[in-house]
Structure 1
Amino acid sequence: MTLIREESAGYMTNWAARLFFRELEKQLAPLGINPAYMPVLFALSDGSALTQKELADRATVEQPTMTATLGRMERDGFIRREPNPEDGRSVLVRLSETGFEGVPQVQRVVSTINQMALQTLSEAERRSFFSVMGKIIASLEMQASS
């Protein structure tokens, strides 16, 4: 049996994700924003403060990955850490002024890239795409939790 990559959901999804990420890197680099910062920027953009564990859970990444990401974000001035008044063993993470300034920039870039990616689809195809992707994600999340 020959595997045809264009008929592999995983391969095609991964290929599209790599192309999205490559474009994100290209457009965010001049702004000094790493695409890996996006989940944290969006999670904290409402002004909330979260623990590292809460951020890792929201971003669906492992703790060591979040530790490294937050270290780079702090170094680059996007976040600040403060003592957690409810738990002296942990800290809360908040966006800094630089972090808040980055959110609308990231949103514009994401919007532009999404428009580029979906420009050849009709409105019905776009709705279908999001519906199908939602079902795929739900199915895989259900498998991951069992």
Structure 2
Amino acid sequence: MKDKTIDYIFRTTWLAINKMYNEEAAKFETSMATGFALLSIDPENGTASTSLGPKMGMEATSLSRTLKSMQEKGLIERKPNPEDGRGVIIHLTEFGREKRAYSREKVLTFNEAIRKNVSEEKLESFYEVAGIINNMISNKKIYNQKEHILK
């Protein structure tokens, strides 16, 4: 794998994880995006629709489609935000809570399997490297550095 670029390894690994979760979700006529949304919504107080996209790292249009589908399946309901009349709070229905528990179980199973096969030291290194990469990207330290500007 050392001959592969770092982004290639991240991309192919993420695609494999995405495929795995979607295959599991398809057994219940749903998707990974729906499972991720279920896990991102506060089961007690709901979550403001405006904070859900950034929390999930999803674009508004994709999130809108996902939420519409979830509402049609009876997983969520939208209620006016009592603190901001223009906003909406997304709440899980009882059915949504059941599916959230299922999604949580699948994520924990994945994590447990990885932890059984990868040492804590290697996982810590993985988290550290991923954190550094995320920090560099969010602080525009890759393509937007002054050193990269040709004089």
Sort the TM-score into its range (normalised by shorter chain). 0.7 to 0.9
Aligned equivalents of 1:58, 1:72: Cα separation in 2 = 19
Aligned equivalents of 1:118, 1:10: Cα separation in 2 = 23
Q: Which amino acid in the other structure matches residue 32 of structure 2?
A: P
Aligned equivalents of 2:69, 2:2: Cα separation in 1 = 36
More contact order relative to length (CA 8 Å, sep ≥ 6):
1
Q: Is the 8 A contact 1:45 1:103 kept in 2?
A: no
Q: Is the 8 A contact 2:46 2:91 kept in 1?
A: yes
- Structure 1 residue 77 corresponds to structure 2 residue 61: no
Paired residue for 1:87?
84
Q: Name structure 2 gaps, 5 residues minimum.
A: 145-151
Alignment of 1:1-146 (within 5 A): 6-117=3-114, 119-143=116-140
User: What secondary structure, in the 3-state scheme, does the structure 1 residue paired with 2:85 have?
Assistant: coil
User: What secondary structure, in the 3-state scheme, does the structure 2 residue paired with 1:143 have?
Assistant: coil
In terms of fraction of residues, the more helix-rich structure is 1
Aligned equivalents of 1:35, 1:111: Cα separation in 2 = 14
Q: Is the 8 A contact 1:52 1:92 kept in 2?
A: yes
Q: Calculate percent identity across the aligned residue pairs.
A: 24
Aligned equivalents of 2:117, 2:46: Cα separation in 1 = 39
Computing the radius of gyration from Cα coordinates, the structure with the larger value is 2
Q: Is the 8 A contact 2:45 2:91 kept in 1?
A: yes
TM-score of the superposed pair, with normalisation by structure 1: 0.83
Q: Is the 8 A contact 2:39 2:104 kept in 1?
A: no
TM-score of the superposed pair, with normalisation by structure 2: 0.80
